[in-house]
Protein backbone atom coordinates (compact mmCIF):
# COMPACT_ATOMS: atom_id res chain seq x y z
CA UNK A 1 0.00 0.00 0.00
CA UNK A 2 1.14 3.56 -0.74
CA UNK A 3 0.85 6.02 2.12
CA UNK A 4 -0.98 9.07 0.66
CA UNK A 5 0.98 11.84 2.31
CA UNK A 6 2.74 14.76 0.69
CA UNK A 7 2.27 17.89 -1.39
CA UNK A 8 3.13 16.76 -4.90
CA UNK A 9 0.72 16.76 -7.85
CA UNK A 10 0.23 13.90 -10.29
CA UNK A 11 1.99 13.14 -13.56
CA UNK A 12 0.36 10.79 -16.08
CA UNK A 13 2.83 8.59 -17.97
CA UNK A 14 1.50 6.75 -21.02
CA UNK A 15 2.23 3.12 -21.79
CA UNK A 16 4.77 3.81 -24.53
CA UNK A 17 7.40 5.20 -22.17
CA UNK A 18 6.54 3.80 -18.77
CA UNK A 19 7.57 0.18 -18.70
CA UNK A 20 4.61 -0.77 -20.89
CA UNK A 21 1.91 0.41 -18.47
CA UNK A 22 -0.24 3.53 -18.28
CA UNK A 23 0.44 4.90 -14.82
CA UNK A 24 0.24 7.80 -12.40
CA UNK A 25 3.60 9.06 -11.11
CA UNK A 26 3.74 11.10 -7.89
CA UNK A 27 5.58 11.65 -4.64
CA UNK A 28 4.26 10.07 -1.46
CA UNK A 29 5.72 10.45 2.02
CA UNK A 30 9.10 8.82 1.46
CA UNK A 31 9.10 7.65 -2.16
CA UNK A 32 8.50 8.56 -5.77
CA UNK A 33 6.04 5.98 -7.07
CA UNK A 34 4.35 4.74 -10.21
CA UNK A 35 0.80 3.41 -9.79
CA UNK A 36 -1.09 1.47 -12.44
CA UNK A 37 -3.74 3.76 -13.91
CA UNK A 38 -6.36 1.02 -14.30
CA UNK A 39 -5.93 -0.99 -11.10
CA UNK A 40 -4.15 1.27 -8.61
CA UNK A 41 -1.41 -1.35 -8.16
CA UNK A 42 2.01 -0.09 -7.12
CA UNK A 43 4.35 -0.71 -10.07
CA UNK A 44 7.63 0.73 -8.78
CA UNK A 45 9.08 3.12 -6.25
CA UNK A 46 12.21 5.23 -5.83
CA UNK A 47 13.34 6.12 -2.27
CA UNK A 48 12.92 9.87 -1.78
CA UNK A 49 13.23 10.45 1.96
CA UNK A 50 14.01 14.06 2.93
CA UNK A 51 14.47 15.86 6.24
CA UNK A 52 10.86 17.01 6.47
CA UNK A 53 9.18 14.66 3.94
CA UNK A 54 8.49 17.66 1.70
CA UNK A 55 8.91 16.65 -1.92
CA UNK A 56 6.41 19.16 -3.28
CA UNK A 57 6.98 19.58 -7.02
CA UNK A 58 5.12 17.64 -9.70
CA UNK A 59 6.97 15.24 -12.00
CA UNK A 60 7.36 16.30 -15.66
CA UNK A 61 7.27 13.68 -18.45
CA UNK A 62 9.61 14.17 -21.42
CA UNK A 63 9.80 11.45 -24.09
CA UNK A 64 10.79 8.34 -22.10
CA UNK A 65 12.15 10.37 -19.17
CA UNK A 66 10.55 11.47 -15.90
CA UNK A 67 12.02 14.73 -14.59
CA UNK A 68 11.67 15.72 -10.92
CA UNK A 69 13.50 17.09 -7.91
CA UNK A 70 13.92 15.67 -4.43
CA UNK A 71 14.56 18.21 -1.69
CA UNK A 72 18.26 19.17 -1.50
CA UNK A 73 19.17 16.62 -4.22
CA UNK A 74 18.93 18.65 -7.41
CA UNK A 75 16.88 18.18 -10.58
CA UNK A 76 17.02 14.63 -11.96
CA UNK A 77 15.74 12.47 -14.79
CA UNK A 78 15.01 8.76 -14.70
CA UNK A 79 14.05 6.22 -17.32
CA UNK A 80 11.80 3.28 -16.48
CA UNK A 81 13.30 -0.02 -17.59
CA UNK A 82 12.21 -3.64 -17.36
CA UNK A 83 15.31 -5.86 -17.14
CA UNK A 84 13.17 -8.67 -15.76
CA UNK A 85 9.66 -8.97 -14.39
CA UNK A 86 9.82 -5.72 -12.42
CA UNK A 87 9.89 -2.08 -13.56
CA UNK A 88 13.15 -0.44 -12.45
CA UNK A 89 13.81 3.34 -12.46
CA UNK A 90 17.31 4.20 -13.69
CA UNK A 91 18.89 7.63 -13.29
CA UNK A 92 19.82 9.31 -16.59
CA UNK A 93 21.13 12.65 -15.34
CA UNK A 94 21.15 14.97 -12.34
CA UNK A 95 21.70 18.73 -12.13
CA UNK A 96 22.63 19.80 -8.59
CA UNK A 97 22.34 23.53 -9.42
CA UNK A 98 18.62 23.26 -10.25
CA UNK A 99 17.26 22.06 -6.91
CA UNK A 100 13.50 22.63 -6.60
CA UNK A 101 11.37 23.21 -3.54
CA UNK A 102 7.74 24.31 -3.99
CA UNK A 103 7.87 25.41 -7.62
CA UNK A 104 7.03 22.90 -10.36
CA UNK A 105 8.91 23.36 -13.66
CA UNK A 106 7.39 23.39 -17.15
CA UNK A 107 8.59 21.89 -20.40
CA UNK A 108 8.82 23.70 -23.74
CA UNK A 109 10.37 21.75 -26.59
CA UNK A 110 13.45 20.06 -25.13
CA UNK A 111 13.98 22.65 -22.39
CA UNK A 112 12.85 22.59 -18.77
CA UNK A 113 12.12 26.00 -17.23
CA UNK A 114 11.97 26.30 -13.46
CA UNK A 115 12.93 28.08 -10.25
CA UNK A 116 15.62 26.68 -8.03
CA UNK A 117 15.58 27.17 -4.28
CA UNK A 118 19.26 28.11 -4.44
CA UNK A 119 20.50 31.72 -4.41
CA UNK A 120 17.31 32.89 -2.66
CA UNK A 121 15.28 31.92 -5.72
CA UNK A 122 16.81 31.67 -9.20
CA UNK A 123 15.14 30.95 -12.55
CA UNK A 124 16.78 28.43 -14.86
CA UNK A 125 16.55 26.66 -18.18
CA UNK A 126 17.89 23.09 -18.39
CA UNK A 127 18.30 20.84 -21.42
CA UNK A 128 15.84 17.96 -20.87
CA UNK A 129 17.97 15.51 -22.87
CA UNK A 130 21.25 16.02 -21.03
CA UNK A 131 20.44 17.85 -17.80
CA UNK A 132 22.92 20.61 -18.63
CA UNK A 133 22.12 24.18 -17.59
CA UNK A 134 21.24 26.47 -20.51
CA UNK A 135 20.96 29.65 -18.44
CA UNK A 136 20.37 30.94 -14.93
CA UNK A 137 18.88 34.24 -13.80
CA UNK A 138 20.34 36.41 -11.04
CA UNK A 139 19.40 35.26 -7.54
CA UNK A 140 16.93 36.68 -5.00
CA UNK A 141 13.92 36.33 -7.27
CA UNK A 142 11.64 35.25 -4.41
CA UNK A 143 10.65 32.30 -2.27
CA UNK A 144 8.46 30.73 -4.93
CA UNK A 145 7.19 31.18 -8.48
CA UNK A 146 4.33 29.75 -10.48
CA UNK A 147 5.54 28.98 -14.01
CA UNK A 148 3.28 28.91 -17.07
CA UNK A 149 4.00 27.79 -20.61
CA UNK A 150 2.14 29.97 -23.12
CA UNK A 151 3.15 27.98 -26.17
CA UNK A 152 6.22 28.25 -28.36
CA UNK A 153 7.04 31.90 -27.64
CA UNK A 154 7.07 32.81 -23.95
CA UNK A 155 7.22 31.45 -20.43
CA UNK A 156 5.62 33.36 -17.55
CA UNK A 157 7.13 33.46 -14.07
CA UNK A 158 4.79 34.78 -11.33
CA UNK A 159 6.74 35.23 -8.12
CA UNK A 160 5.20 35.27 -4.67
CA UNK A 161 6.12 38.97 -4.56
CA UNK A 162 3.58 39.71 -7.34
CA UNK A 163 6.12 40.13 -10.12
CA UNK A 164 4.97 38.71 -13.48
CA UNK A 165 8.01 38.13 -15.69
CA UNK A 166 7.77 37.34 -19.40
CA UNK A 167 10.70 35.27 -20.72
CA UNK A 168 11.23 34.39 -24.38
CA UNK A 169 11.85 30.68 -24.94
CA UNK A 170 14.24 31.01 -27.90
CA UNK A 171 17.12 32.63 -26.04
CA UNK A 172 20.30 31.20 -24.54
CA UNK A 173 20.28 33.64 -21.61
CA UNK A 174 17.83 34.94 -19.03
CA UNK A 175 16.46 37.97 -20.87
CA UNK A 176 12.93 39.00 -19.85
CA UNK A 177 10.99 40.86 -22.52
CA UNK A 178 8.64 42.43 -19.95
CA UNK A 179 8.00 42.58 -16.20
CA UNK A 180 4.84 43.69 -14.41
CA UNK A 181 3.75 44.24 -10.82
CA UNK A 182 0.30 42.63 -10.71
CA UNK A 183 -0.73 43.03 -7.06
CA UNK A 184 0.05 44.94 -3.89
CA UNK A 185 0.08 41.80 -1.70
CA UNK A 186 1.76 38.37 -2.08
CA UNK A 187 0.68 36.05 -4.91
CA UNK A 188 1.14 32.48 -3.66
CA UNK A 189 -1.78 30.98 -5.58
CA UNK A 190 -1.14 29.53 -9.03
CA UNK A 191 -2.64 31.74 -11.77
CA UNK A 192 -5.14 30.46 -14.31
CA UNK A 193 -5.02 31.11 -18.04
CA UNK A 194 -8.44 31.40 -19.73
CA UNK A 195 -8.12 32.05 -23.44
CA UNK A 196 -6.38 35.41 -23.81
CA UNK A 197 -6.70 36.32 -20.12
CA UNK A 198 -4.85 35.34 -16.96
CA UNK A 199 -6.50 35.30 -13.52
CA UNK A 200 -4.20 36.19 -10.61
CA UNK A 201 -5.10 35.78 -6.94
CA UNK A 202 -3.29 37.77 -4.27
CA UNK A 203 -4.10 37.96 -0.55
CA UNK A 204 -6.98 40.37 -1.01
CA UNK A 205 -8.38 40.09 -4.51
CA UNK A 206 -8.72 38.21 -7.79
CA UNK A 207 -7.80 40.17 -10.90
CA UNK A 208 -8.05 39.47 -14.63
CA UNK A 209 -5.29 40.54 -17.02
CA UNK A 210 -5.31 40.56 -20.81
CA UNK A 211 -2.58 38.60 -22.61
CA UNK A 212 -1.30 40.50 -25.64
CA UNK A 213 -1.13 38.58 -28.95
Distance of CA 149 to the CA centre of its chain: 11
**Residues 13, 34 contacting (CB under 8 angstroms):** yes
Threshold 0.85, pTM exceeds:
yes
Give the mean pLDDT of 206-211: 95
Least Cα distance to 75 among 109, 43, 116 occurs for 116
**Neighbour count for residue 157 (Cβ, 10 Å):** 24
Domain ranges of the chain: 1-96
- In this prediction, residue 43 carries a pLDDT of 93
What percentage of the chain carries pLDDT values higher than 90?
Answer: 73
Q: Residues 183-208: pLDDT tens digits?
A: 999 999 999 999 999 999 999 999 99
- The rounded distance, in Å, linking the Cα atoms of 124 and 136 is 4
- The rounded distance, in Å, linking the Cα atoms of 187 and 46 is 33
- In this prediction, residue 16 carries a pLDDT of 47
- The rounded distance, in Å, linking the Cα atoms of 131 and 21 is 25
Least Cα distance to 138 among 184, 186, 176 occurs for 176
**Residues 44, 34 contacting (CB under 8 angstroms):** yes
Query: With bands split at pLDDT 50, 70 and 90, how would you rate the model's confidence at 29?
Result: confident
Amino acid sequence: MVEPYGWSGLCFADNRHAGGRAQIVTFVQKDLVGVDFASGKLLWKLPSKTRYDENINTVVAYKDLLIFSREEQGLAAIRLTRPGAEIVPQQVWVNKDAELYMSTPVLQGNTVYGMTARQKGQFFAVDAETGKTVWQSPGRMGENAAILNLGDKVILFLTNEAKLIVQAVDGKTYSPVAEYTVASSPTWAHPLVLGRRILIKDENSLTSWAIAP
